Amino acid sequence: MIDEQRLLWLLTRMRLIRRFEEAIVAIYPTDAMVTPVHLHIGQEAVPVGVCAHLRPADTLFFGHRSHGPALAKGLDPKKLMAELHGRTTGCARGYGGSMHLVDPPNGMLGSSAIVGGGIALGVGSALAAKLSGEDRVSVSYFGDAATNSGVFWESVNFAALRAVPVLFVCENNDLSNTMRQREHMFADITRAASLFMLALSANGTDVLDVHEKAGQALEHVRSGRPALIECKTRRWMKHQGVERDDLPFNVVDEARDCPIRRLESHLLERALVTRGEIDEITERVRQQVDEAIAFAMASPFPTEGDLIREV
């Protein structure tokens, strides 16, 4: 059974991601953020359900759809907002943009936008933990499209051969940009991965199911062996940008698919929280995001003289 504190944490983190991404939708048309964005609206349950089990020292490697995992792992929303606005107070000092986030104290050692490649880095970080005898795990976080790549299978194979403590998290929104999974991946991902390691499947729109399965998988990983979880979710927005997706086969039913609504109903039905407490969380998160925007807008830009630094 999950305790109330954990339940509230799950809700708060999902609300933070949702509010943050909605703020981007509102600001983006002003061109205050000059960087491509790949939003997590509708998919919040996956990074949050997984990161609930991670410690700051556990490392997390994700791809271009970065805001969800980064905020779930603990990146300060101010630093993320400032990075999106190209300011020196951004987590990458304005040099990375949305697709290259970094936050070493929270186990985020840099991120890449080339689909699939970051997966190998998670395996390497886990290998380092094993070779040094450090008690920590790594997570390689990616979408269904990344399973098309050779480097994904190379990473799975190596992790299994060498028994490294890495969790592969496939956030499957059934889309590779505009291509459905059945058109880009021939086999069922969980089933194929199960030939190499423990492989579990979760309902990615239900944070409690993600939390449960991630917990099982991570217990396995902390004992020193790799695992994979595939969390099926839905992408509400277009692959990139701030418009709602309009692919005819990508039908979103918010009543059914919204992970936040689902958790809130669950909590209220069981009288685990009150309506008042939920509203408080929503308001607190709204303020937090507003402060992040104000911080970003007040922060300085880098200057031309900063160009050749840390090459």
Contact 72, 50 (CB under 8 A): yes
The residues, any chain, with a CB within 8 Å of residue 31's CB and separated by 6 or more, are: none
**Which of 4, 6, 55, 161: binder of another protein (CB under 8 A)?**
161
Pick from 127, 214, 267, 293 the residue near another protein by CB under 8 A. 127
CB of 256 to another protein, least distance (A): 37
Q: Which residues of 210-227 are buried (b: 16+ CB within 10 A; e: fewer)?
A: bbbbbeebbebbeeeebb
Task: Among 46, 102, 167, 207, indicate the residue that binds another protein (CB under 8 A).
Answer: 102
Structural contact between residues 63 and 112, judged by C-beta atoms closer than 8 angstroms:
yes
Sole binder of another protein in the list 2, 12, 76, 158 (CB under 8 A) = 158
Alpha-carbon span 28 to 26, nearest angstrom: 6
Nearer to another protein, 49 or 69 (CB): 69
Which amino acid appears at position 274 of this protein?
T
Taking CB under 8 A as the rule, which mask of x and - marks residues 7-46 in contact with another protein?
Answer: ----------------------------------------
Strand duo 198-203 + 179-180: pairing: unpaired
Shortest gap between Cβ of 310 and another protein (angstroms)?
A: 4
309 near another protein, rule: CB under 8 A: yes
CB of 100 to another protein, least distance (A): 4
Near another protein by CB under 8 A: residue from 121, 229, 242, 263: 121
Torsion region of 131: left, alpha or beta (phi above 0 gives left; psi -120 to 50 gives alpha): alpha
Least separation, in Å, of the C-beta of 94 and another protein? 9
- Interface pick for another protein out of 8, 35, 95, 184 (rule CB under 8 A): 95
Between CA 46 and CA 126 the distance in angstroms is 21
300 lies in the site for another protein, by CB under 8 A: no
CB of 36 to another protein, least distance (A): 15
Minimum CB separation of residue 95 from another protein in Å reads 5
Choose the binding region for another protein from 100-108, 168-176, 250-258, 270-278 (rule: CB under 8 A): 100-108
* Closer CB to another protein, 27 or 102, in the complex: 102
**Contact status: 86 vs another protein (CB under 8 A):** no
132 binds another protein (CB under 8 A): yes
* Residue ranges binding another protein (CB under 8 A): 59, 61, 92-93, 95-96, 100, 102, 104, 109-110, 112, 114, 117-129, 131-132, 138, 150-151, 154-155, 157-158, 161-162, 309-311
